C-alpha cells in the first residue's frame, strides 16, 4: 500500500495541493513531517526500543517511538498513533519539546515527551519495526555510545533532558 504524506515548507506550513509519497524523493523546498516521542515512566526511567534487525540501523536502540505523519495528520495525532503502534502505550498527554528541521533529509521532526505510569511489562512490539525494549535510568541513557543509540540527533535530543 502506498503511504501518502502532506508536504510542508520549512516552517511547518502545509503546502496546498501537494502530496508526497514514501520512497519518492522530496522536492527541494518541501519537507515531510516526522514525530518522535520520548517515554518517561513516573519512576524516572526511560523506554528504549530496539529496532528490528532488518531495518536501517537494525538492532540499534531508539529513545523514541515515532515515524512519518500520514496525510491529514497533525503532529500530535502522528505522535499518539506512532506511540501506540510501536509500544502499545495509549497516552494522549504528550508535551512538545521542540522542532528540528533536517534540510538534507527534507524532514521536520517534532519531538514530544510523555510521562506515564503505564505498566512497564506491558509494552507491545511492532512486527518489522521493533524487536525488544528496556527501561533505563537517565544516566544510562545519556551515556549510551553512538554505535548503540540511533543517530547523533537523538544524542542531542537526550542532552536537552539534563
User: Domain limits of the chain?
Assistant: 4-159
pLDDT for residue 64: 87
- Given its phi and psi angles, is residue 8 left (phi above 0), alpha (psi -120 to 50 degrees) or beta? beta
pLDDT for residue 148: 84
φ, ψ for residue 75 (rounded to 5)? -55, -45
pTM to 2 decimals?
Answer: 0.90
- The grid cell for 12 is 511547518
Q: Do 51 and 126 form a contact (C-beta atoms < 8 A)?
A: no
Q: How many helices (H) and strands (E) does the chain have?
A: 3, 9
The CATH topology of domain 4-159 is: Nucleoside Triphosphate Pyrophosphohydrolase (3.90.79)
Beta pairing, strands 4-8 & 95-102? unpaired
Integer CA distances (angstroms), 100 to 29, 103, 117, 141, in order: 15, 9, 28, 21
Beta pairing, strands 65-68 & 32-41? antiparallel
pLDDT for residue 63: 87
Residues of the chain scoring pLDDT < 70? 151-162
pLDDT for residue 152: 59
By C-alpha distance, which of 116, 24, 126 is closest to 81?
Answer: 126
Amino acid at each position: 500500500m502506498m503511504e501518502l504524506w502532506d508536504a510542508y515548507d520549512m516552517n511547518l506550513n502545509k503546502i496546498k495541493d501537494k502530496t508526497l509519497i514514501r520512497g519518492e524523493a522530496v522536492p527541494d523546498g518541501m519537507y515531510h513531517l516526522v514525530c518522535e516521542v520520548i517515554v518517561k515512566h513516573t519512576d524516572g526511567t526511560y523506554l528504549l526500543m530496539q529496532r528490528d534487525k532488518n531495518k536501517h540501523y537494525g538492532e540499534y536502540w531508539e529513545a523514541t517511538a515515532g515515524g512519518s505523519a500520514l496525510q491529514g495528520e497533525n503532529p500530535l495525532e502522528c505522535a499518539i498513533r506512532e506511540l501506540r503502534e510501536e509500544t502499545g502505550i495509549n497516552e494522549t498527554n504528550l508535551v512538545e519539546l521542540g522542532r528540528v528541521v533536517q534540510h538534507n533529509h527534507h524532514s521536520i521532526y517534532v519531538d514530544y515527551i510523555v510521562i506515564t505510569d503505564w505498566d512497564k511489562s506491558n509494552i507491545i512490539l511492532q512486527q518489522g519495526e521493533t524487536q525488544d525494549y528496556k527501561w533505563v535510568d537517565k544516566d544510562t541513557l545519556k551515556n549510551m555510545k553512538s554505535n548503540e543509540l540511533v543517530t547523533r540527533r537523538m544524542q542531542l535530543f537526550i542532552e536537552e533532558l539534563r
